[in-house]
Structure 1
Amino acid sequence: MVAARTKEESMHPTTPVVLVHGFWHGSWCWSLVSEELASRGVASVAVDLDGHGLKSCSPRSRWQRPFDSAAFSEEPSPVAGITASSAATSLVEQVRRIGGGRPCLVVAHSAGGTVATAAAEQAPELFAELMYVAAFAPVGGKSQAEYTFLPENAGEMVVGGLSADPLSVGALRYDAGDGDRRAAIREAFYNDVDDATAEAAISLLTADAPARVGFEQIRVTAERFGAVPHSYVVCSRDNAIRPALQRLMIRDVDAVSGEPTEVVEIDSSHSPFLSQPGVLAEVIEAAHAGVHRSEGSRVAGV
């Protein structure tokens, strides 16, 4: 059993920040935030989840020329075997290595929240805090996929842009080379990001995100996951995970946590790390630095 910890008990001035991306993205999407954090004296490391970034593997049909859209929509995914639990096990080892065994402030975006949730249940001692940024927090007995289709997520623009049946190919697959689908991706993820940055980001997206991550039901306990302090950054113009769904998941997290979730709202799209990196860095810095001031006051008996 892990005793519930306050942020004051969890953080240390040298606590590393671990930045976790969402589906189709990679560690690259955090580069602007990492620069902002470095300018504030906060050390951060962005990681690649299994099946993404330098761990990605595209279907062969993605690169076939001439391009065969039918083959692309039918080819089984090379990342179909990755689950939320297996990706969480890899993330735990990354967090352990980055922190040298010390607890880290883990910041998870979008579907990265599903993996981070499972990781926090596996190894709560490695989490000084888990901060969700417009992220899935599937702790209410439903999978990420089930949350996606709740009424609170009405108006989301992700599912309609997929190029294949996830149940058939084992992945949520995007064809970023198709003009219409590229426009849909832009509106879903980057609707407030400048054109040049949005175009670059779309070009860097992985084609396949492991479907089993989204289909797995994450089981968490108050004794483990609930012992980790949590915070949530709501993105009020999010077309991928609608704000109403974000707030529903906050309530679900509160139902299992030892402390209420600290909530910050940003007037941004699903990708504040690209549209407002300075603002998001300030939020992360406050979570990282504010607790040290509180700890100093507590130790001094103030």
Structure 2
Amino acid sequence: MPKTPIVLLHGFYHGAWAWTEVIADLAGRGRTAVAVDMAAHGLHATAPASAGRRPFDPVAYAAEPSPVSGVGLDAAADLLAAQLDTVGGGEPVCVVAHSMGGAVLSRVAERRPGLVAHMVYLAAYMPASNTPCLDYPALPEGRDNRFMPLLVGDPAATGALRIDPRSPDPEAQSAIREAFFGGVDPSRAAAATALLSCDAPLAMVAESTTLTDQGWGSIPRTYVVCTEDRTIPVALQRLFIAQADAAYPANPTTVVELPTSHSAFLAAPARVADIIVDRATVADQC
């Protein structure tokens, strides 16, 4: 039986590098996976000029308009669709999306459902139809997130959700680790923090996707709930699932739980690989 290709998509500030250990574990299980960079991230990232100036000026850094401010869900979805076309050769693939990568996956799955055999949302945004991701942190289920306090400057002015991963302030570094890398080995968390980009486009969280029965609602999906997540609180993850199942009761979400922080790919890469293999095997049989 042919094996369904697997594509791994990271979330805000990360890059394809985030999946390195999961890819190795998947290879050991006989599955080949490809990690791709999201628009405005990884090799597509562009930092504000003030981020590299020395001496560093925090006021200028907080105010400078972002060079990626114009990158919205359309651009991100176009890039991901092209990546899926390349990896799958036009055949559907199993896509695993983390965090804000989930919103990009949803847009692609709605527009080109033939590209996606199975959707796996790993502690990811899985927004309801016509609902911007930006709406969710203000809900009761999302208010205790540790992400929003990391933001530097006014997103409306800079056009970005900006963080300062290179800050020498120990408290700032601790806040980033607590939000993203709880439960991850400290040296590995420090290395991952050093790789984070600083700007995520505001447009990507301000825009929404209209979901339909024939598009996103027709594709099998799995949600991996990370129960120790401090960026997308567990109550918010469960809200995504409840909203999806209410909208598409004939195609319910398969739910798997992991006792990890937001970055399960670093905290428990072997367990994440187990889940992906299981879901990809389901896709193989469809």
TM-score by length of 1: 0.91
| C-alpha distance in structure 2 between counterparts of 1:164 and 1:38, whole Å | 42
In structure 2, what is the equivalent of residue 5 of structure 1? none
- After superposition, the Cα gap between the structure-2 partners of 1:208 and 1:50, relative to the gap in structure 1 and judged at 3 Å, is same
2:23 aligned counterpart, secondary structure: helix
What code does the residue aligned with 2:51 have?
A: R
Contact 1:221/1:256 (CA < 8 Å) preserved in 2? no
Structure 1 residue 290, shift from structure 2 partner: 4.3
Whole-angstrom CA distance in 1 between matches of 2:277 and 2:12:
24
Q: Could you tell me how far apart the structure 1 residues matched to 2:172 and 2:232 are?
A: 18
Structure 1 SS opposite 2:246: helix
Q: For the structure 1 residues 94 and 291, does the alpha-carbon distance in structure 2 shift closer, same or farther, using more than 3 Å as the test?
A: closer
Whether the 8 Å contact between 1:33 and 1:277 is mirrored in structure 2 is yes
Matched with 1:260 is 252
Whether 1:96 aligns to 2:92 is: no
Structure 1 alignment gaps of length 5 or more = 1-11, 296-302
Equivalent position amino acid for 2:40 in 1: G
Question: Structure 2 CA distance, aligned partners of 1:255 and 1:56?
Answer: 37
How far apart, in 2, do the equivalents of 1:154 and 1:139 lie? 18
The root-mean-square deviation of aligned C-alpha atoms, in Å, is 1.2
After TM superposition, give the deviation of residue 58 of structure 1 in Å. Answer: 0.4
In 1, distance between residues paired with 2:244 and 2:265?
A: 23
What is the match of residue 283 of structure 1? 275
Residues in 1 aligned to 2:143 and 2:69: alpha-carbon distance in whole angstroms = 27
Report how far residue 154 of structure 1 moved. 2.5
Q: 1:60 and 2:43 equivalent? A: no
Q: Deviations over 1:144-181 (max 9, x none)?
A: 00012110013100010111211110111111122222
Match for residue 39 of structure 2?
50
| Inter-partner Cα distance in structure 2 for 1:120 and 1:61 | 37
Where in structure 2 are the equivalents of 1:1-302 lying within 5 Å? 13-178=2-167, 179=169, 180-257=171-248, 258-290=250-282, 292=284
Distance (whole Å) between structure 1 residues aligned to residue 241 and residue 206 of structure 2 = 20
After superposing on structure 2, the runs of 4+ consecutive aligned residues of structure 1 that deviate more than 6 Å are none
Percent of paired sites with the same residue: 43
Q: Distance in 1 between matches of 2:166 and 2:235?
A: 31
- 2:110, 2:229 → 1: CA distance? 27
Distance 1:45 1:255 in 2: 32
Measured against aligned partners, the alpha-carbon deviations of 1:204-229 in whole angstroms (never above 9, x if no partner) come to 00010111000102211111111111
Q: Deviations over 1:262-294 (max 9, x none)?
A: 0000000000100100000000011112454x6
Aligned to 1:192, the other structure's residue is in SS state coil
Work out the CA distance in 1 between the residues paired with 2:209 and 2:129: 9
Alignment deviations for residues 163-203 of structure 1 (CA, whole Å, 9 cap, x no partner): 12111101111111222222111000111100011000000
Q: TM-score, normalised by structure 2?
A: 0.96
Matching residue of 1:6:
none
Q: Are 1:140 and 1:252, in contact at CA under 8 Å, matched by a contact in 2? A: no
